[in-house]
Amino acid sequence: YAMLLSLIFLIVLVAAIVGFVFRHEIKTNFESNLELALKDYNVTADRHSEAVDTIQRTLHCCGVQNYSDWERTEYFSQKGIPRSCCKNQNDCSQEDLKDPNKAKLKVFVDGCFFLVTSTMESKMSVVAGISFGIACFQLIGIILSCCLSRYITNNQYEMV
């Protein structure tokens, strides 16, 4: 049991260290994937488009760096900026979304990349605290299981 807990503890420890060391690469990778999702954005219900819409609605943002990122997409030439960028869904017409000057007043102007990364960084202390707590319980479990193992081997019971 102690070996199993030790193995799990080491896996979690390695994952935490790798996540901390490669956090900048994770940010860069996220930014490039978000840009790719905007480029390939379409009306069909694919999961990348749904993810972009969910991020934009939830965080009240639009595009990667700002709303003008949509102007470089094929979707913008056909339909304008997506409705998921609108501040008010009832006051956001298709004509407004095709005109960048009118859209600036109707959509969220902040980009999603900064909001997503800042949200992740602000929650990182909570995740680290929970992980530290779990690691402490695992270490206690490892120590207690080793003590139990030693106690059992030191006090050999005779079979009756």
Residue given tokens 């680290």 in the structure block: 128
- 27, 121, 136, 158 from 114: Cα distances, Å: 10, 10, 33, 68
* Predicted local confidence at residue 44, as pLDDT: 59
The distance from CA 8 to its chain's CA centroid, rounded to whole angstroms, is 23
Q: Is 35 exposed, middle or buried (0-12, 13-18, 19+ CB in 10 A)?
A: middle
Residue found by looking up tokens 């990348």 in the block:
48
Q: What is the pLDDT of residue 39?
A: 86
Tokens of 87: 């501040």
Q: What is the predicted pLDDT for the residue at 156? A: 62
Residue 160's pLDDT is 47
- Reference 112, options 24, 43, 47, 33; nearest CA is 33
The answer to whether 39 touches 5, Cβ cutoff 8 Å, is: no
pLDDT in tens, the chain (160 residues): 788 888 888 888 888 788 778 878 888 888 898 888 888 888 556 788 888 889 999 999 998 998 888 988 888 888 888 888 998 888 888 888 888 888 888 899 898 999 888 888 888 778 778 888 888 888 898 899 888 888 777 666 555 4
In the prediction, which pLDDT does 76 show? 87
| Chosen CATH of 1-158 out of 1.10.1450.10, 3.40.50.300, 3.40.50.360, 3.90.230.10 | 1.10.1450.10
Strands (E), 13-92: none
In three-state secondary structure terms, 86 is strand
